[in-house]
Structure 1
């Protein structure tokens, strides 16, 4: 078997230890020889903490995995087999500044969509395209697995503007499999789910348990739909509404379906000096204090339940399918290529896809219900414009993208974008015009 050199860009992330744990657990079937953890100068302390923990974890497991940390991205990328990107340009501090500006203007603050997600993408796309230039030069045969948010927008920018092999990953499909495995008390291998959508805007359109369709029965059962609602939605949608929906929405749908309720809660918290990402900031502080202890040789209990935790499992499973050319079906973010006929062929979608060594091919979707199609097309148009805005540096396209988004009232878009750009000025060189 070919030696695997895995590179993690954003190696100082608090999520990296979970990736290391997943590699250790699956080492017997996917023996990774080297893991290179890469970060930037500002993240060197976090990188050192994570690297030392990773080395302790590997030593405890007794596997001959080399852990190398570096601030030299090009050195790490050279000759890589697989590259995982999990960066946050501007860190949590810029996320909080974006959130504060959004709430000052009375607009929902969410880092993967809407105005805050838009600014996150504009900061991130140029950096990711720079990384991809290095990959094209130094590891042209490598696969890039992108976890960086907003994942669908970033992944679309990469395959539209580079020549590398890229796939986007998120935890949502894995969570659905876990949820239904618990509900029906079956192993995940006995479950088949049809998904349609884009990253963070995903619907379950069919569910099979041991070959038997369960979606219709689930929708007709008050208790079952309430259980799904509780497990998959952070706030909880009206059960009757879900029963009429014809599909199960993911946990980001309340932003679109309960907008006023969420906005009111965010605004009330903001008046008291609290932001949506405050919990994440506290979580990061706690985790790094644990990671830093020399006595820490395994992950803290409950870490698998945090938001984003399942991405590690998704990444390693996709790598296995690529490496061994298993032709397995995984739910990933890929180029549409006609799989969803109501979207452009070059749009990034998230659907069941056949993962092979040389390509990842989306499976064609069934007829999409009108209410699903309408929201999907609207958000996809916003994402397309966001990619175009980031690449062209055109302020007019920025404004049109933001004004189109259903979480941003069009009459607020111009003033909102002015404040956001003033706060993000240091990240935009060359400037937008």
Structure 2
């Protein structure tokens, strides 16, 4: 059986990684056609990626047809899997998401706080259009979304578009598993972390190695500060012994924004003054990556890509597609409907959880109640996400303001309005719903 994979946002610097993953899985996931899709602004990048990809395919001696196009509808015809990795407004928009909150003394980050909300406002309407086209042109295709904020985007598509075969992925659980394996000096495939929470706000409450509970060993290593498991785009900060012992939860790197806010803001402001925003640093990194990609001698994914910060997203996406296609019934951590998995959250909310992956999609493994220390925080985050999704679709200013107001990284009624107004103005070309 032949398989067609369409990559929306094919001009992304991450694409060589997903191409590598598809090439490596050819024996079990027999992709015959890959189409890279982008917009006019990304024409040069997607063409460069396609040329590199074809050299990778030639080097691997596999039979895959790789093309690129700006015509999304034609690309979607006959697709079996559609991955989405877009950035509406590009890195220039991300820079505004970081710069404007920082100017007002708030954390500026692309998927959290005010910046994350604005990314959702720009992204959700576009991916809603994509989902409707998928439902029309290739209704049996699975949409694998790793466009941030992945949890909110996935919930918007599942609950507000006609297409229901949508799964969100993130590299944070993958990184946590691998880093925990490194910490315990065991193979990553032997490690299972029981996750509970939401995308970028997920905790590990138990760690198992070959079925044996090693949670306390991990906590002791963290207390002793024996390693750092932050991805490249998030600065590492230590967790106190009191935090680990009291919560009895394994935090993810994004939690520093919520539980070490003052320290993060101080460091971010210093870094901003010295080097500009993270987006501007990434722009320089991407420029150097694309110079590498253009070299005709390059016939594999370069190691430099791992510095980009979102490394291994694509490995997660490829593993998920492989498991669906082969009905592997293995366990992976994805973003999908709650459906009672966490009783304190709405039934149709999207959570990030361990799931059994089948040909019919993910089946969440029952978790039980949220641990008491984080119950209120997780419920508040979900309420905020619901408001963000509502505003993304309605374009109603009051909906947007409410989302800002209850976000834990804002929660100031005056700053919420000032920052919201500046960000809406800065991104007005990408927010048609707010400019009707």
- TM-score tier by shorter-chain length is over 0.9
Deviations 1:67-97 (A, max 9, x none): 0100000011111000000000000001112
- Equivalent pair of 1:190/1:209 in contact (CA under 8 Å): yes
- Equivalent pair of 1:340/1:364 in contact (CA under 8 Å): yes
Q: Give, in whole Å, the separation in 2 of the partners of 1:138 and 1:223.
A: 49
Residue in structure 1 matching 2:422, options 419, 423, 428: 419
The answer for the alignment partner of 1:134 in structure 2 is 133
Q: Give, in whole Å, the separation in 1 of the partners of 2:331 and 2:431.
A: 39
Which has the larger displacement, 156-165 or 264-273?
A: 264-273
Q: Give, in whole Å, the separation in 2 of the partners of 1:186 and 1:286.
A: 35
The answer for the alignment partner of 1:208 in structure 2 is 208
- 3-state DSSP class of the match of 1:333? strand
Normalising by structure 2, we get a TM-score of 0.95
The structural deviation recorded for 1:223 is: 6.3
- Equivalent pair of 2:334/2:352 in contact (CA under 8 Å): yes
Deviant stretches of 4+, over 4 Å: 222-225, 228-233
The structural deviation recorded for 1:228 is: 5.0
The answer for the alignment partner of 2:12 in structure 1 is 13
Which has the larger displacement, 71-80 or 21-30?
A: 21-30
* Change beyond 3 A, Cα 1:90–1:238: same
The structural deviation recorded for 1:432 is: 5.1
* Change beyond 3 A, Cα 1:388–1:271: same
The answer for the alignment partner of 1:69 in structure 2 is 68
Which has the larger displacement, 363-372 or 272-281?
A: 272-281
Which has the larger displacement, 245-254 or 173-182?
A: 173-182
The structural deviation recorded for 1:43 is: 0.3
Correspondences of 1:27-426 after superposition (within 5 Å) = 27-164=26-163, 165-219=165-219, 221=220, 226-227=225-226, 229=228, 234-272=236-274, 274-304=276-306, 306-411=308-413, 412-426=415-429
Deviations 1:349-407 (A, max 9, x none): 00001211123221111332122212111111111100000111111011011010111
Q: Give, in whole Å, the separation in 1 of the partners of 2:203 and 2:339.
A: 19
The structural deviation recorded for 1:112 is: 0.7
The structural deviation recorded for 1:243 is: 2.6
Normalising by structure 1, we get a TM-score of 0.96
Q: Give, in whole Å, the separation in 2 of the partners of 1:139 and 1:198.
A: 29
Question: What runs of 5+ residues in structure 2 fail to find an aligned partner?
Answer: none
Q: Give, in whole Å, the separation in 2 of the partners of 1:391 and 1:230.
A: 36
* Change beyond 3 A, Cα 1:246–1:228: farther
- Equivalent pair of 2:396/2:434 in contact (CA under 8 Å): no
The structural deviation recorded for 1:180 is: 2.4
The structural deviation recorded for 1:331 is: 0.4
- 3-state DSSP class of the match of 1:118? helix
Q: Give, in whole Å, the separation in 1 of the partners of 2:168 and 2:229.
A: 27
- 3-state DSSP class of the match of 2:91? helix
- 3-state DSSP class of the match of 1:252? helix
Give the alignment's Cα RMSD to 1 decimal.
1.7
Which has the larger displacement, 301-310 or 328-337?
A: 301-310
Deviations 1:197-249 (A, max 9, x none): 11111111111112210112332x25665235555772222233223221101
Which has the larger displacement, 246-255 or 25-34?
A: 25-34
The structural deviation recorded for 1:426 is: 1.2
- Equivalent pair of 1:226/1:239 in contact (CA under 8 Å): no
- 3-state DSSP class of the match of 2:303? coil
